[in-house]
Structure 1
């Protein structure tokens, strides 16, 4: 099986592949939240207090923040993944993704990281969406052992 998710779903995908290293064959991770401690300070004010309700009030629940972080067990990840990140993301800044990649051994875990200039949280440009989906399909094809069908051509009728 494979798992995919963006933002908080990216958190879920990374937490899942870290918790269950042998379960997934592939993971696609879009603009993830990965480090709740720093996320509180790095995201914009509108989002910054979400974790108070999800994890606990800061700083009283600081130990829970560290325990809940997908980065805590990143060294357990063995699942091939693709990480897709907008470089102008103010909700889940690129530093979140960079912290994950710093903890991954590329000799042990095959991964690809694609970053997109001018993209924020949730991709808007058609070229970015297409590149992301192609990278995700390529990952699944490699991990699950299939050859993707050729894209249909558009011709006038």
Structure 2
């Protein structure tokens, strides 16, 4: 079973990725621990892919706090805006590495 999880892990296919990636991660996530998102982020940086990681305190796998859900959605919109050079009025400030 461990081999299957490893095979399905996104980091195992990092070489096939080329599109910008936003990682939204709950700090208390036990399904996908934060260190996996951080490893993915580092691998994307090394490959030169535009990427951003946002960590959410008090969240697990699937956000439950309304303010974090709102921020995640706003961050996603801002990410798309920056990637596609679309002016999003009142967009949240988001930092994208390798852009």
Q: Same fold (TM over 0.5)?
A: yes
Alignment-derived partner of residue 84 in structure 2: 144
Report how many residues are paired. Answer: 91
Structure 2 distance, partners of 1:87, 1:142, is: 25
Q: Is the helix fraction higher in 1 or 2? A: 2
Larger Rg, first or second structure (1 or 2): 1
In structure 2, relative to structure 1, the CA distance for the partners of 1:150 and 1:68 (3 Å cut) is closer
Cα-Cα RMSD: 2.4
Task: Specify which structure has the bigger relative contact order, considering alpha-carbon pairs within 8 angstroms and separated by 6 or more residues.
Answer: 2
Uncovered stretches (5+) of structure 1, i.e. residues with no partner: 1-57, 152-157
List aligned pairs for 1:52-131, cutoff 5 A: 58=1, 62=3, 65-105=5-45, 108-131=48-71
Local SS of the residue matching 2:44: coil
CA deviation vs aligned residue, 1:22-70 (integer Å, no higher than 9, x gap): xxxxxxxxxxxxxxxxxxxxxxxxxxxxxxxxxxxx36xx3x5544332
- Asked if 2 retains the 8 angstrom alpha-carbon contact of 1:75 and 1:104, the reply is no
Equivalent-residue separation in structure 2 for 1:109 and 1:79 (angstroms): 7
Query: Match of 1:102, SS?
Result: helix
Which TM-score applies when normalising by structure 2? 0.73
Please list every run of 5 or more consecutive structure 2 residues that lacks an aligned counterpart in the other structure. 92-99
